[in-house]
């Protein structure tokens, strides 16, 4: 059957966590560039990028270097996940059942769901602040609700609409941020723009970690936005369009935040600094960022809802979730996040930093196991039917090898952690530098590969299951 074009595909997405059959596949690989470029030019990455000079006291040059290193490294992992989408045709989180088992995957799915709810709440706070910055008469709590509703509508409509908006956003926001850079560099309001801050190893590594995590944090849902592409698209094409779009867009946003706070007096809120640094075009920039955060935040809502559906479907395996189910759960999540965001908005940066540092610890082992399993163990060949069976089919309810590697991957990071809750002894010895994510990757990847290859009975079941990557 012929694959439909994007224009002939329904605007309102009908699929949720189910397999996308060939007749419903549509889109172009280049759409992944615009999705991840346009989606990353938004207030949240701008605020995060500013932390390199605000919180970790780097100067401009070392801040930019740290940002680029983090995104270029983390982007590799993120793009490798994206390349799984066309081959699998299912969301990333339900695919985790093939690595962890139908019940073993629940912990990872729950973590992903909580993470995206956290990002959604954080983004609607910034939407509220951006709207208040544009129109003073609109209180931040009201702006939060408006931003949440806008993202909710986009998320409920679904996949195709998200891609369409980001194609437009790539051009509008790309031009906007270039103009913004130009204005800031020609209207610097501080004498210490190039000299404020200095190199310090712990701050540099912390900034690298934040940038890398920004990319890794997309891993649990990045292939959700490539799963509708035809199965015969090249893995390399999917990888490079995703990698270049995400690494370039997020790097620009991170650097923009650092530049804006250095161009304005010390101590300003990042978005206030952006408004001041961009002068006469400041209100226009805030409008663009407001529209961007509403559009981008739909991805977080969409990912959170798919994770929640996956959790419920694990137990209610006879339930066939529909677009209506996705809409109802989206509204519930939206309302809960609005309530939480209004209460958290006054200490947003502190809460956000705490969250991302904790996420480093639990995300890194999962991403290592998923990538090793997909590219080195199964080489992209999975039994899709087993993934949707209540007992996990050939993958079982639990995969002890994956769960053991995951637990060890978390444990080995503890001595290298530097979070508000706990500072590991190694991190304390090297002036607070956080190397936990790097250690987690380096230990978990070979460990899981070794454990999976030792389990000969598991591999025999794989061969007996007549693995197929499509139904």
State the pLDDT confidence band at 426, using cuts at 50, 70 and 90.
Answer: confident
Query: Is the pLDDT assigned to residue 108 strictly greater than 90?
Result: no
Give the pLDDT score at 412: 95
- The answer to which of 12-26, 87-101, 395-409 has the lowest mean pLDDT is 12-26
Give the pLDDT score at 348: 60
Highest average pLDDT, of 122-126, 411-415, 428-432, comes from 411-415
Give the pLDDT score at 464: 44
Give the pLDDT score at 346: 63
State the pLDDT confidence band at 469, using cuts at 50, 70 and 90.
Answer: very low
Beta pairing partners, 423: 418
Give the pLDDT score at 133: 76
State the pLDDT confidence band at 1, using cuts at 50, 70 and 90.
Answer: very low
* Cβ within 8 Å of residue 325, ≥6 positions away: 16, 309
- pLDDT, mean over the chain: 86
Give the pLDDT score at 450: 93
Q: What is the reported pTM?
A: 0.87
pLDDT, average across residues 251-279: 91
| Domain boundaries defined on the chain | 28-347
Percent of the chain with pLDDT over 90: 34
- Give CA–CA dist 118/341, Å, rounded: 9
Query: Is the pLDDT assigned to residue 465 strictly greater than 50?
Result: no
- The answer to which of 53-62, 402-411, 454-463 has the lowest mean pLDDT is 454-463
- Give CA–CA dist 252/277, Å, rounded: 16
- Cα–Cα–Cα angle for 413, 416, 420, rounded to 5 degrees: 100
- Report pLDDT digits (tens) over 20-59: 888 888 888 999 999 999 889 888 889 889 999 998 899 9
pLDDT, average across residues 347-353: 61
- Give CA–CA dist 251/248, Å, rounded: 5
Query: Is the pLDDT assigned to residue 461 strictly greater than 60?
Result: no
Give the pLDDT score at 471: 42
Per the model's pLDDT, the better-predicted residue between 337 and 371 turns out to be 371
Query: Is the pLDDT assigned to residue 279 strictly greater than 50?
Result: yes
- Report pLDDT digits (tens) over 126-159: 788 878 877 888 888 898 899 899 999 998 888 8
Per the model's pLDDT, the better-predicted residue between 27 and 64 turns out to be 64
Give the pLDDT score at 161: 86
Q: What is the CB-side half-sphere exposure of residue 70 using CA atoms within 13 A?
A: 34
Query: Is the pLDDT assigned to residue 72 strictly greater than 90?
Result: yes
Neighbour-count burial of 345, counting CB atoms closer than 10 A to its CB (0-12 exposed, 13-18 middle, 19+ buried): buried
- The answer to which of 75-84, 188-197, 291-300, 356-365 has the lowest mean pLDDT is 356-365
- The answer to which of 1-10, 110-119, 144-153, 440-449 has the lowest mean pLDDT is 1-10
Per the model's pLDDT, the better-predicted residue between 455 and 387 turns out to be 387
- Give CA–CA dist 348/342, Å, rounded: 10
- Report pLDDT digits (tens) over 205-258: 889 988 998 898 888 889 989 998 998 899 999 999 999 999 999 999 999 999
- Give CA–CA dist 343/404, Å, rounded: 38
Query: Is the pLDDT assigned to residue 345 strictly greater than 60?
Result: no
Query: Is the pLDDT assigned to residue 98 strictly greater than 70?
Result: yes
* Cβ within 8 Å of residue 218, ≥6 positions away: 36, 78, 81, 246
- Report pLDDT digits (tens) over 287-335: 888 888 888 888 888 888 988 998 888 887 778 788 888 889 999 999 9
Does residue 85 contact residue 379 with C-beta atoms inside 8 Å?
no
- Homologous superfamily of the 28-347 domain (CATH): Hydantoin permease (1.10.4160.10)
């Amino acid at each position: 059957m012929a694959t439909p074009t994007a224009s002939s595909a329904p605007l309102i997405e009908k699929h949720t966590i189910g397999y996308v059959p060939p007749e419903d596949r549509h889109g172009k690989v280049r759409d992944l560039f615009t999705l991840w470029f346009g989606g990353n030019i938004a207030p949240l990455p701008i605020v995060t990028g500013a932390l390199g000079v605000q919180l970790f006291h780097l100067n401009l040059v070392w801040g930019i270097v740290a940002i680029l290193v983090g995104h270029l490294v983390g982007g590799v992992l993120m793009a490798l996940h994206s390349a799984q989408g066309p081959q699998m045709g299912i969301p990333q989180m339900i695919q985790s059942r093939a690595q962890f088992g139908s019940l073993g995957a629940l912990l990872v799915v729950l973590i992903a769901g909580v993470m995206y709810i956290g990002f959604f709440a954080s983004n609607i706070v910034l939407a509220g602040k951006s709207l208040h910055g544009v129109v003073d008469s609109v209180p931040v709590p009201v702006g939060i609700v408006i931003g949440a509703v806008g993202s909710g509508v986009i998320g409920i409509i679904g996949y195709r609409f998200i891609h369409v908006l980001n194609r437009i956003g790539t051009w509008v926001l790309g031009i906007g941020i270039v103009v913004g850079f130009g204005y800031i560099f020609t209207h610097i309001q501080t004498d210490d723009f190039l000299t404020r801050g200095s190199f310090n190893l712990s701050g540099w590594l912390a900034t690298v970690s934040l940038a890398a995590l920004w990319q890794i944090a997309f891993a649990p849902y990045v292939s959700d936005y490539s799963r509708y592409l035809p199965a015969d698209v090249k893995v390399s094409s999917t990888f490079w369009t995703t990698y270049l779009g995400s690494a370039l867009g997020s790097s620009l946003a991170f650097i923009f935040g650092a530049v804006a706070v250095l161009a304005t007096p010390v101590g300003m809120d990042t978005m206030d600094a952006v408004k001041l640094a961009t002068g006469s075009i400041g209100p226009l920039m805030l409008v663009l960022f407001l529209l961007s955060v509403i559009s981008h935040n739909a991805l977080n809502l969409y990912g959170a809802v798919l994770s929640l559906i996956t959790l419920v479907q694990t137990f209610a395996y006879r339930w066939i979730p529909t677009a209506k189910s996705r809409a109802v759960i989206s509204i519930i999540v939206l309302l809960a996040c609005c309530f939480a965001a209004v209460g958290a908005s006054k200490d947003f940066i502190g809460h956000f930093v705490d969250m991302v540092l904790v996420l480093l610890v639990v995300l890194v082992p999962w991403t290592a196991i998923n990538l090793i399993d997909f590219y080195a163990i199964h080489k992209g060949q999975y039994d899709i039917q087993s993934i949707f069976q209540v007992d996990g089919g050939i993958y079982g309810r639990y995969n002890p090898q994956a769960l053991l590697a995951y637990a060890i991957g978390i444990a080995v990071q503890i001595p290298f952690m530097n979070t508000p809750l706990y500072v590991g002894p190694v991190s304390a010895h090297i002036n607070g530098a956080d190397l936990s994510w790097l250690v987690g990757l380096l230990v978990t990847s070979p460990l899981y590969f070794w454990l999976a290859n030792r389990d000969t009975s598991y591999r025999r079941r794989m061969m007996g299951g007549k693995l197929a990557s499509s139904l």
